[in-house]
């Protein structure tokens, strides 16, 4: 009896495109949060400035506000001395500068009318004659010296941040400089995480010396939860679901009610007898993908229906490195797009190989590597999908096209773990 022909492997880029399309509509609801608490959140509305930043011309140095014309005849051998008639600190406004006078001024203080430059205090000699301060100048500054102009950073009416911007410390500082105490952001994705399989054992429940034959510790649950948290998700860890059809259906149905995504690992290989596939199909839809990438070929995407709609379902491969790589390359951009992030691709660097790979793989391969002190990439010796130490030893991966060998010195496409896990 002839076996049915296997479907061709799906290109990674095609799988990603389908996932991003699924995540695009509808996007998550929005909520208003304090700017203090918005780190890592995704902006849901563009930010338009209602003011200039800075709001007025101000000094960028501690020094003296002057009118350059008053110093027009100054020479190094013939300094000009002018009276200091006022003192302007940050947060205070001085009076207009009268001809032939200067003002003591501090960093951040508004520049008084009539002044067109700041002279640093290090370049001024000040004398005190009976309480009257006099400042001596040996050089004429350029007009505008050490003055931060109004609107130099941000002009009134300018869009400073676009919707879909993931907020970090710099963005929060910018929002605060516009007077924004609250920001409208996408709600955090709610993700249900669980594992299936009688072979799984949670660390701490059984000591290594007492592990039964065939049992393994559930490592995937730990790094997946950490990765989800880094992406700002609210994670419901449902633990290990009993390896029973009824229990799996019940867990999926309950999770779908209150979560945007249900994420599992293991049990998605073609032909594997497990309860995840029929349970998801019973409650919704499931597509089993064989992706042309190494590690990480088996992958599943579907939906689980509930009364108000449907939750997304993603099933990752069980091997730890496969699960890790499919998460950072597929699930991460999916969750970012779900929050409204427009640009989800990680930056790619080009670095030289300090190793050789004489045998090419039929699939697009993600090789665990690390940068050395010479600026090249070293290869971890064991690239097996079950060797999680490769991801600890390495600081990134090489994105190596299918059918491509590598010679020492070849320029390679490198993705850092710092970016993939940000």
Query: For the chain, what are the domain ranges?
Result: 12-29+188-338, 36-50+155-186, 58-148, 349-420
- 233 backbone dihedrals φ, ψ, rounded to 5°: -80, 150
Q: How far lies 168's CA from each of 9, 35, 89, 254, in Å?
A: 38, 11, 31, 34
Partners of 370 in the β-ladder: 378
Q: Are 113 and 97 in contact (CB under 8 A)?
A: yes
Q: Give CATH for domain 58-148.
A: 2.170.190.11
Q: Does CATH place domain 36-50+155-186 in 3.90.105.10? A: yes
Q: How many angstroms separate the CA atoms of 166 and 337, rounded?
A: 11
Take residue 152 and report the two structure tokens written for it. 């130099």
Take residue 419 and report the two structure tokens written for it. 């970016």
Task: Name the one residue in this structure whose structure tokens are 């338009």.
Answer: 48
Partners of 305 in the β-ladder: 310
Q: 349-420 architecture in CATH?
A: Beta Barrel (2.40)
Q: Tens of pLDDT along the chain (422 residues)?
A: 455 556 689 999 999 999 999 998 777 999 999 999 999 999 999 999 999 999 999 999 999 999 999 998 777 778 899 999 999 999 999 999 999 999 999 999 999 999 999 999 999 999 999 889 999 998 899 999 999 999 999 999 999 999 999 999 999 999 999 999 999 999 999 999 988 766 777 888 888 888 888 777 778 899 999 999 999 999 999 888 877 889 889 999 999 999 999 999 887 765 555 788 899 999 999 998 999 999 999 999 999 999 989 999 999 998 999 999 999 999 999 999 999 998 999 999 999 999 999 999 999 999 999 999 999 999 999 999 999 999 999 999 999 999 999 999 999 999 999 999 99
Using CA atoms in the order 45, 50, 55, 61, what is the torsion angle rounded to 10 degrees? 0
Q: Which residues contact 133 (CB under 8 A, 6 or more apart)?
A: 83, 84, 104, 126, 127
State the pTM of this model: 0.86
Task: Name the one residue in this structure whose structure tokens are 């931060």.
Answer: 148
Q: Are 237 and 255 in contact (CB under 8 A)?
A: no
DSSP for 312-358 reads EEEEE-SSHHHHHHHIIIIIHHHHHHHTT-S--PPP-EEEEBSS-B-
Sign of CA dihedral 145, 147, 150, 152: positive
| Cα angle, residue 81 at apex, residues 75 and 82 outer, rounded to 5° | 130
Q: How far lies 415's CA from each of 79, 134, 237, 377, in Å?
A: 59, 60, 29, 11
Sheet strands (E) in 242-290: 261-265, 284-290
Q: Is the peptide bond before 295 cis (omega within 30 degrees of 0)?
A: yes
Q: Are 233 and 335 in contact (CB under 8 A)?
A: yes
Fold observed for domain 12-29+188-338: Molybdenum Cofactor Biosythetic Enzyme; Chain A (3.40.980)
Pairing, β 364-371 against β 261-265:
unpaired
Q: Are 236 and 192 in contact (CB under 8 A)?
A: yes
């Amino acid at each position: 009896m002839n076996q049915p022909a296997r479907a061709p492997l799906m290109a990674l880029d095609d799988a990603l495109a389908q996932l991003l399309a699924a995540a695009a509509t509808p996007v998550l609801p929005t909520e208003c949060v304090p700017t203090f608490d918005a780190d890592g959140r995704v902006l849901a509305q563009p930010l338009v400035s209602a003011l200039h930043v800075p709001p007025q011309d101000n000094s960028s140095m501690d020094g003296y506000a002057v009118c350059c014309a008053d110093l027009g005849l100054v020479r190094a051998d013939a300094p000009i001395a002018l009276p200091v008639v006022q003192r302007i600190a940050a947060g205070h406004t001085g009076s207009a500068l009268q001809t032939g006078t200067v003002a003591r001024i501090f960093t951040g203080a508004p520049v008084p009318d009539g002044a067109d430059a700041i002279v640093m205090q290090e370049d001024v000699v000040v004398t005190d004659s009976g309480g009257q301060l006099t400042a001596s100048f040996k050089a004429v500054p350029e007009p505008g010296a050490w003055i931060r102009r109004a609107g130099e950073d941000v002009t009134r009416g300018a869009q400073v941040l676009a919707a879909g911007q993931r907020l970090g410390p710099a963005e929060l500082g910018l929002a605060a400089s516009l007077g924004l105490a609250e920001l409208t952001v996408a709600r955090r994705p709610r993700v249900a995480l669980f594992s299936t399989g009688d072979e799984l054992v949670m660390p701490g429940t059984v000591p290594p010396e007492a592990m039964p034959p065939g049992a393994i510790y559930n490592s995937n649950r730990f790094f997946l939860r950490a990765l989800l948290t880094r992406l700002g998700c609210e994670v419901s860890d449902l633990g290990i679901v009993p390896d029973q059809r009824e229990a799996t259906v019940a867990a999926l149905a309950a999770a779908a009610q209150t979560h945007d995504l249900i994420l599992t690992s293991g049990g998605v290989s073609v032909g594997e007898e497990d309860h995840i596939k029929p349970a998801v199909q019973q409650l919704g839809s499931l597509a089993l993908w064989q992706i042309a990438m190494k590690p990480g070929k088996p992958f599943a995407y579907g939906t689980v229906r509930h009364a108000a709609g449907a939750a997304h379902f993603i099933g990752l491969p069980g091997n730890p490195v496969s699960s890790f790589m499919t998460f950072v390359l597929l699930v991460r951009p999916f969750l970012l797009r779900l929050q409204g992030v427009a640009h989800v691709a990680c930056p790619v660097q080009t670095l030289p190989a300090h190793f050789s790979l004489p045998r090419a793989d039929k699939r697009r391969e993600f090789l665990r590597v690390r940068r050395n002190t010479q600026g090249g990439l070293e290869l971890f010796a064991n690239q097996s999908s079950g060797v999680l130490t490769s991801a600890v030893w390495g600081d990134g991966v090489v994105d190596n096209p299918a059918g491509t060998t590598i010679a020492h010195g070849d320029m390679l496409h490198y993705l850092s773990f710092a970016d993939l896990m940000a």
